[in-house]
């Protein structure tokens, strides 16, 4: 019975650590994906001038998974099914900070509102800012994400030793 308790306690500790680790990991991947999306939009708007909906739908499906559902929310807005607000867009993106959500929302609100030249400039400005945020996310991921995973394993081992 004691060994079962040790295993369960160890798993709980590791799970908590992994939860925080994946939170930082998701944020990092999210900003990598949104930078890729923005760059694709910038290129395609210049080249093919295709509609936003088509461009987002045709975006790489693997990278799209890291967008935490904001692409679906945005397409739903383009189809006039939902509003473009925080509640609708960030349903699945709970790992983002408030100021990051505000910034992503601002990015989505500027899409499709101007001519090619201005739209491209705007997107490039957002890409720069997203790159800065991604840099911060990388640092936080290394600093806190990996740390929380390590700490959780140590805590798990500590409780195991304590119980033995």
Partner 1 sequence: MLSKILPEKIFNIIDKKVNLKAVNEIRFRADKPIVICVSGKNYFLNENGITSSGASCLYASKIAIEDIIFRASECSIYSVNEQIKKGYIVTENGIRIGIGGNVVEENGQVKTMTNFSSCNIRLPHNVRNCSLCAFPFIVNENVIENTLIISPPGCGKTTFLRDFVAQLSERKLSFNVLILDERGELDCKLDSNFYDKIAFSSKKMGFENGIRALSPDLIVTDEVGQEEDIDAILYASTCGVKVLASTHADSMETFCKKPLFQKLIKEKVFKRYVLLSKRNGPGTFEGVYNENFARMSSKY
Both tokens assigned to 9: 């306690």
Both tokens assigned to 2: 């004691």
Q: Which member of 78, 89, 104, 127 binds partner 1 (CB under 8 A)?
A: 78
For residue 20, give every residue at least 6 positions away whose Cβ sits within 8 Å of its Cβ, in sequence order, or none: 144, 145, 148, 149, 152
Q: Which member of 80, 87, 98, 99 binds partner 1 (CB under 8 A)?
A: 80
* Nearest distance from C-beta of residue 65 to partner 1, angstroms: 23
Judged by CB, which is closer to partner 1: 96, or 111?
Answer: 111
Judged by CB, which is closer to partner 1: 89, or 133?
Answer: 89
* Nearest distance from C-beta of residue 103 to partner 1, angstroms: 20
**Considering only residues 100-159, where is the footprint of partner 1 by CB under 8 A?**
111-117, 119
| Torsion, Cα of 89, 90, 96, 97 (10° steps) | 80
Residues contacting partner 1: total by CB under 8 A: 16
Tokens 């995973």 found at: 149
How far apart CA 88 and CA 45 sit, in angstroms, is 25
Tokens 């349903």 found at: 91
* Nearest distance from C-beta of residue 64 to partner 1, angstroms: 19
Query: Is the distance from CB of 140 to CB of 24 less than 8 angstroms?
Result: yes
82 binds partner 1 (CB under 8 A): no
Tokens 């509102």 found at: 113
**Considering only residues 32-71, where is the footprint of partner 1 by CB under 8 A?**
45, 49-53
**Residues making contact with partner 1 (CB under 8 A):** 45, 49-53, 78, 80, 111-117, 119
């Amino acid at each position: 019975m004691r060994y079962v308790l040790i295993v369960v306690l160890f798993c709980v500790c590791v799970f908590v650590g992994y939860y925080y680790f994946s939170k930082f990991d998701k944020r990092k991947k999210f900003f990598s994906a949104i930078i890729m999306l923005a760059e694709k939009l910038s290129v395609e708007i210049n080249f093919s001038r295709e509609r936003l909906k088509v461009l987002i739908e045709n975006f790489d499906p693997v990278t799209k998974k890291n967008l935490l559902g904001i692409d679906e929310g945005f397409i739903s807005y383009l189809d006039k099914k939902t509003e473009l607000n925080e509640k609708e867009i960030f349903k699945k993106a709970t790992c983002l900070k408030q100021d990051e959500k505000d910034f992503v929302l601002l990015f989505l609100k500027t899409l499709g509102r101007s001519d090619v030249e201005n739209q491209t400039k705007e997107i490039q400005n957002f890409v720069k800012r997203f790159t800065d945020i991604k840099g911060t996310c990388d640092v936080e991921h290394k600093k806190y994400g990996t740390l929380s995973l390590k700490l959780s394993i140590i805590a798990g081992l500590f409780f195991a030793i304590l119980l033995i």
